[in-house]
Amino acid sequence: MTGATITSRVLGSVDRGAAPVHAAMAIAGGWSAAASGDRLDCIDPTTEEVVATVPAAGPADVDEAVRAAQEASHSWRALPWRRRAGLLHDLADAIEDVAEPIARLDVLDSGNPITGMRGDVVSAVAELRYYAGLAGQTHGESTPTGAETVSYTRREPYGVVARIVPFNHPFKFATGKSAAALAAGNAVIVKPGEQTSLSAIALAEIAEAVLPPGVLSVLTGTGAVAGQALVCHPGVQRVAFTGSVPTGRRILAAAAQNISHVTLELGGKNPLIVCPDVDPAQAARDAVASMNIARSNGQSCGSTSRVYVHESVRKRFTDALVERLEELRVGDPLDEANDAGPLAFAAHHARVLEHIGRARSDGATLAFGGARPLGLDRGYFVEPTLFTDVTDDMAIARDEVFGPVMALLGWSDLDDVVRRANASDLGLTANVLTRDLAVAHRVANELEAGYVYVNGTGRRPPGSPFGGWKQSGLGKENSHEELLSYTREKTVTLTLPSALPSWARTRPTRGDR
Ligand code: NAD
């Protein structure tokens, strides 16, 4: 790409039909291209057209970014926490001022529906404000000792945090998932998903006017090159990753090199148990809502993808489910009238269609969808899809699809369905729909997942810890625990001088003379 102008301005400049914008990445307190000159295309999944390009960072860029972030981290951590909190609130205000262009940029880059992406900006702002409010809550503890010593702990930031995020909620993750690390006093380097990097660059564009230079960097590029180099850099002692299980394993292994602290938010194959006492029509609406189609075309780690319905309501529930899916409109995600848009990129589209093909050949019944919607010849579209007659051994009941695809299974014994729901290597979220509180309480206690929803699937109050069990992850986010995870504990034991100086000694009283 010779002669093209590289710019830091992506907000309001990237658009359909416009000439592609050639964006810079935000490292070392400035804006740059990759040292190699390599670039990645940003493709609008609705039109399959290139709307922008971003730098494909290599090890030299990573090294420059880390060194500059180390430098910036010293003055950032030295700021009184109230000042850091104030700046995070300022960043939240600045984001709110351009919420609509950010949401639009995410739609163009990811194909997620516009209403969902507006919601993502709201969530990102809420996370910034939540952690700004918690910024002072990194205090240590004291240990009981004798008179000669004082022993206490301090919590100090790591310095530089690598924040690697996936493609599915681009702005929300780049922003919200950096908030705790920033509040705790770290400089953060965000590595966005290579398919959806634009709104992370927009975040840096907004932050430029608010945060000190180098405190928040955005390094674009592939996972295999830029991501790997970032994780392996000796200047990075704290790695926070959100993405797939195989990449999580790779990152854990790579982080072993520097014995870095790693947290992982990984995939899910999230079950929903529908009990016999529910209203089948309402349960079907809840089940479809829990697929997160309107938010991210089903591409959410917490989406429900296997539903166990009690045999007594199976028929009515299935009919209601099909009815609800029929109501969903698939089309241009910029059009508010549409509930679903395309999947984020071509390879993922092919992968989801492969899962659908495999389910059919394994003998599941395709009850709804399963193909490209009629009339949408371009773009990475796939219909919301429902498989019935699924058995526990089928791949569609076991593997994460990460798309708008649901597998329906039946049950008749409560203990048995809980056992089946738990028979997975993954344990991110789980759901139960029932009006019976005793059943809800028992099932919630027995489900092996980091987050259990009883009714109201997907409703997560701010501050409620989120993080997977088993191979779905390590550590918790959206909580005080996350804030503390960006600090390292130091113990200080002060041994006091055995003899007090003469001026501090107690004066002898008259009677002592
Ligand atoms: P992915 O693992 O392919 O990529 C995620 C990020 O890691 C990207 O930025 C990528 O460039 C980077 N990466 C890839 N290889 C790397 C390496 N060797 N070293 C360092 N970085 C590397 O995931 P994806 O396809 O972008 O996202 C989908 C997955 O993310 C799904 O499995 C989904 O369940 C999971 N996810 C989990 C959560 C959660 O909170 N638990 C949230 C969203 C998505």
The mean pLDDT values, 10 residues at a time, for the chain of 513 residues are: 76 94 96 98 98 98 98 98 98 98 98 98 98 97 92 98 98 98 98 98 97 98 98 98 98 96 98 98 97 95 97 98 98 98 98 98 98 96 98 98 98 98 98 98 98 90 94 98 98 89 74 52
Please, where in the chain does CATH 3.40.605.10 lie? 6-266+471-486
Q: Are 482 and 450 in contact (CB under 8 A)?
A: no
Provide the pLDDT for residue 301.
96
Q: Are 203 and 174 in contact (CB under 8 A)?
A: yes
Does ligand 1 come within 6 angstroms of the Cβ of 474? no
Q: How far apart are CA 263 and CA 467, in angstroms?
A: 9
CA distances from 510 to 500, 502, 513 (A): 21, 18, 6
Q: What is the CA radius of gyration of the chain?
A: 26
Does ligand 1 come within 6 angstroms of the Cβ of 253? no
Does ligand 1 come within 6 angstroms of the Cβ of 268? yes
Q: How far apart are CA 358 and CA 317, in angstroms?
A: 25
> Does 6-266+471-486 carry CATH code 3.40.605.10?
yes
Q: State in words which class domain 271-454 has.
A: alpha beta
Q: Quote the ligand 1 centre to 492 CA distance (angstroms).
A: 38
Nearest CA to ligand 1 atom 12: 223
Q: Quote the ligand 1 centre to 496 CA distance (angstroms).
A: 51
Nearest CA to ligand 1 atom 11: 223
Reading the block at residue 55, the tokens are: 């730098």
Q: Are 399 and 267 in contact (CB under 8 A)?
A: no
Reading the block at residue 16, the tokens are: 């359909």
* Most ligand 1 atoms within 8 A of CB, residue of 164, 251, 295, 429 to mutate: 164
Reading the block at residue 53, the tokens are: 């390009």
What is the layout of strands, in order, in the sheet containing 25-27? 30-32, 25-27, 216-218, 187-191, 160-164, 238-242, 261-265, 473-474
Nearest to 267 by CA among 472, 477, 422, 478: 472
Q: Are 225 and 58 in contact (CB under 8 A)?
A: yes
Q: Are 200 and 218 in contact (CB under 8 A)?
A: yes
Does ligand 1 come within 6 angstroms of the Cβ of 251? yes
Q: Quote the ligand 1 centre to 167 CA distance (angstroms).
A: 7
- Dihedrals phi, psi of 456, to nearest 5 degrees: 40, 50
Q: Which residues pair with 263 in a beta bridge?
A: 240
Provide the pLDDT for residue 7.
84
Nearest to 173 by CA among 301, 77, 44: 301
The model scores a pTM over 0.85: yes
Does ligand 1 come within 6 angstroms of the Cβ of 402? yes
Residues in the chain: 513
Does ligand 1 come within 6 angstroms of the Cβ of 194? yes
* Most ligand 1 atoms within 8 A of CB, residue of 199, 244, 245, 343 to mutate: 244
Nearest to 246 by CA among 224, 222, 271, 221: 224
> Rounded to an integer, what is the distance from CA 408 to the centroid of its chain?
27
Provide the pLDDT for residue 511.
55
Nearest CA to ligand 1 atom 34: 267
> Rounded to an integer, what is the distance from CA 205 to the centroid of its chain?
21
Does ligand 1 come within 6 angstroms of the Cβ of 227? yes
CB neighbour list of residue 321: distance below 8 Å, 6 or more residues apart: 284, 287, 288, 367, 368, 386, 406, 408
CA atoms within 13 A on the CB side of 233: 26
DSSP state of 196: S
Ligand 1 atom at minimum distance from 250 CA: 18
Report the run of H or E that residue 32 belongs to, with start and end. Answer: strand 30-32
**In a 10 Å sphere around its CB, with 0-12 CB exposed, 13-18 middle and 19+ buried, how is residue 363 labelled?**
exposed
Residue with tokens 């969808």: 369
Please give the angle made by the CA atoms of 155, 166 and 466, to the nearest 5 degrees: 50
What residues act catalytically?
265
Does ligand 1 come within 6 angstroms of the Cβ of 242? yes
> Rounded to an integer, what is the distance from CA 420 to the centroid of its chain?
27
Nearest CA to ligand 1 atom 39: 265
Q: How far apart are CA 268 and CA 253, in angstroms?
A: 21
Please, where in the chain does CATH 3.40.309.10 lie? 271-454
Nearest CA to ligand 1 atom 20: 227
Reading the block at residue 152, the tokens are: 């206490």
CB neighbour list of residue 134: distance below 8 Å, 6 or more residues apart: 180, 183, 480, 483
Provide the pLDDT for residue 5.
85
Provide the pLDDT for residue 291.
96
* Most ligand 1 atoms within 8 A of CB, residue of 236, 242, 262 to mutate: 242
> Rounded to an integer, what is the distance from CA 500 to the centroid of its chain?
55
Does ligand 1 come within 6 angstroms of the Cβ of 107? no
Report the run of H or E that residue 241 belongs to, with start and end. Answer: strand 238-242
Provide the pLDDT for residue 4.
73
List the alpha helices (DSSP H) in 413-512: 414-422, 437-446, 480-485
Does ligand 1 come within 6 angstroms of the Cβ of 429? no
* Most ligand 1 atoms within 8 A of CB, residue of 230, 301, 348 to mutate: 301
